Amino acid sequence: MDRSLLEKVGPFSWCIPQTGSMRVPAVIFADGALIDEMDDKVQQQLSNVARLPGIAKAAFAMPDAHWGYGFPIGGVAAFDPKQGGVVSAGGVGFDISCGVRLLTTTLTTLDIAQVNEALAHELSRGIPAGIGSRGRIVLDDDEMTQMLLGGARWAVEQGYGRHADLDRIEERGVMSGAEPNDVSEKARERQRHEMGTLGSGNHYLEVQRVDHIFDADVGRAFDLSMDQVVVMIHCGSRGLGHQVGTEYLREMALAAEECGLSLPDRELACAPIESELGKRYLGVMRAGINCAFANRQILTHLARRVFERFFPNADIDLLYDVSHNTCKEERHEIDGQMRELFVHRKGATRAFGPGSRDLPMDLAGVGQPVLIGGSMGTESYVLVGDKRSEQVALSSACHGAGRSMSRHQAARTWTGGSVKQELAERGIIIKSPSKRGIAEEAPGAYKDVGRIVRVAEDAGLARRVARLKPMICIKG
C-alpha cells in the first residue's frame, strides 16, 4: 500500500484522512511491514465504506485486512439508524456467520501421537468436507424453519451436543430476530443436505496442541494448559449464506436509487436499516447466523463421537464460538454518548472485554475468548478481549492470517501433493478430498499470523493468551 495516502497516527495505526465525500476517517491497524504488504484496494475500499450514510466514528481495517467484495475482508464499520444508517450485504459477506469454535480436551500430545493416523482417517470419514459436500442430515421444510429460528439450541434439542455448550456460544447460540419465512426457496434447497458439513476453501477441523501460554491467569480461566490437545472448527452457513448474500447484493444494488442512495461502488450495495429491504435483509441474515451456529454445533457432535471411539473417558468441552461475518446491533460509546449501532464485521471478530453483559458469568470477569485461525500448517491463537478495544475499534479484532495471494496464484505456485508432503515432514497430517484445494490453501499463500496477532495486541484490539500448533487438519 502506498504510505503517502496515509497518516501514521499511532505506533500501530494509520489514518486515511476524511476527504471529499468521506463522512468519517478510516483507520488501518498495522505495523509498517503489514502496511507495505497490503494491496492498495484495501485503502480504496475502506475509503468507500467511509462514504456510506450514517457511518459512526470511522471505518476500520484489522491487521489481516485484504481486498474483498465491497468491504475489505478485515473491515469493521458501524451505522446509526437514527442518522440514515445502512446495512450492507457486502459488509457482512457471502458466508454469513462464518466463524471459529474451540473445544478443549483432557488429552495430551502423547495421547494423539499413539493414534494419529487412525484418528485422522476416522475424522475425515466422519466430517463431510469439500465443494458440494453433503451430510447425513436432510431437513424438510418445517425442520429447516425450526433450525433457522433455533440455531445451536435447535441442534442441541435434536441431540447434537450438550445444553452446556450454549453458554459458550456468541448470542447463546441463537440469534434473535431471525425471519426464516423470508429465506428464499433456493437458499433453503442449497442447505437441505449440507448441515454438519465443512464445505471448501479455508474451512477446516483441526486437532491442535497448546504450544505456548502467553497469559497464565487467563489461560487457566480458559482451561488451557501446555501440551493440551484442542480442536478448532472453522466454517459457516454453507450454501444458504452464499445464496442469501447473492440475492440481497443484487436486490440492494437495483434498489439503491429508489432508496435515495448514491453508491461509491456497486459492490457496496446496501439499504437503509429502517427500510423494508433493510429490515428484511437483517431478518434473513440472522437466520443465516443461526444456520452457521447449528452447523458448527453438529460438527462438534460429530467430532466428539469420533474422539469417543479412541478416548471414551476424555472430556471435550466448548471454550467458545464466535462469528466473523455478521452485522450485530450493539451499544457503543461514540464521542461520550452511548448509541445503538449496527456493527458490520467482515472477516473481523467481536472482542468484548471484561465486564461485558454479553458474556457468560464465568467469563465476564476475564473477557471474551477471541479465536484466531491460522492457515493450514501454521499456528492458530487464542486471544482475550481487551477493555481498550471498545474505544479503539468498537470491540473488534482480527480473525486470521489474511491472504497474501489469490487462490489461483497459489494453485499455480504449489501442488497439493507437495504441500501435503511438506506438512507431513513436519508431523502434520492433512486430509482433504481436493488436491487443488490443498494447493489453494498453502500456508505460503497467507500472511504471518504471528505478526498479525502481535500487532492486534500492541494496537489494543485483544491480548494473546495461547498459541496452538496443528497436528491433524481436515480440509474442504
pLDDT value at residue 403: 85
Residues counted in the chain: 476
- pTM for the model stands at 0.96
Q: If you average pLDDT over residues 192-206, what whole number do you get?
A: 91
> Would you say residue 424 lies in a domain?
no
Cβ atoms 102, 228 nearer than 8 A: no
Full domain range(s) for residue 109: 3-404+446-475
How much is the pLDDT for 402? 84
Mean pLDDT of 119-123: 97
The pLDDT tens digits for 227-266 are 999 999 999 999 999 999 999 999 999 999 999 999 999 9
Whole-number Å distance between alpha carbons of 195 and 292: 9
| Residue range 155-180: mean pLDDT, rounded | 97
What would the pLDDT profile of 47-100 be if each residue is shown by its tens digit? 999 999 999 999 999 999 999 999 999 999 999 999 999 999 999 999 999 999
Find the range with the poorest average confidence among 150-164, 209-223, 243-257, 399-413.
Answer: 399-413
- Domain presence at residue 423: no
State the pLDDT confidence band at 452, using cuts at 50, 70 and 90.
Answer: very high
pLDDT higher than threshold 70 for residue 131: no
Name the domain count of the chain: 1
Query: Cell 496515509, residue?
Result: 6
Q: Is residue 149 part of a domain?
A: yes
Q: Give the chain as a 3 state SS string.
A: CCHHHCEEEECCEEEECCCCCCCCCEEEECCHHHHHHCCHHHHHHHHHHCCCCCEEEEEEEEEEEECCCCCCEEEEEEECHHHCCEEEHHHHCCCCCCEEEEEEEEEEHHHHHCCHHHHHHHHHHHCCCCCCCCCCCCCCHHHHHHHHHHHHHHHHHCCCCCHHHHCCEHHHHCCCCCCHHHCCHHHHHHHCCCCCCCCCCCCEEEEEEEEEECCHHHHHHCCCCCCEEEEEEEECCHHHHHHHHHHHHHHHHHHCCCCCCCCCCHHHCEEECCCHHHHHHHHHHHHHHHHHHHHHHHHHHHHHHHHHHHCCCCCEEEEEEEECEEEEEEEEEECCEEEEEEEEEECCEECCCCCCCCCCHHHHCCCCEEEEECCCCCCEEEEEECCCHHHHHCCEECCECCECCCHHHHHHHCCHHHHHHHHHHCCCEEECCCHHHHHHCCHHHECCHHHHHHHHHHCCCEEEEEEEEEEEEEEC
In angstroms, the CA 71 to CA 45 distance is 6
Residue with cell 435434536: 158
Dist. CA 271–CA 317, nearest whole Å: 40
43, part of any domain = yes
Q: In this predicted model, what pLDDT tens digit does every residue of 373-394 receive, in sequence order?
A: 998 889 999 999 998 989 999 9
Find the catalytic residue in 66, 193, 344, 399.
Answer: 399
- Residue 82's pLDDT is 96
The answer as to whether 430 is a domain residue is no
Q: Which three cell numbers stand for residue 388?
A: 481498550
Predicted local confidence at residue 200, as pLDDT: 83
Q: Would you say residue 434 lies in a domain? A: no
Is 399 an active-site residue?
yes
If you average pLDDT over every residue of the chain, what do you get?
95
Query: What number is the average pLDDT over the span 335-356?
Result: 96
Question: Do 418 and 408 contact (CB within 8 A), yes or no?
Answer: no
Q: Going by DSSP bridges, is the β-strand pair 462-475/429-431 parallel, antiparallel, or unpaired?
A: parallel
Percent of the chain scored above 90 by pLDDT? 88
The radius of gyration computed from the CA coordinates of the chain, to the nearest angstrom, equals 21
* pLDDT above 80 for 135: no
Q: What is the pLDDT of residue 201?
A: 82
CATH assignment of the domain containing 395: 3.90.1860.10
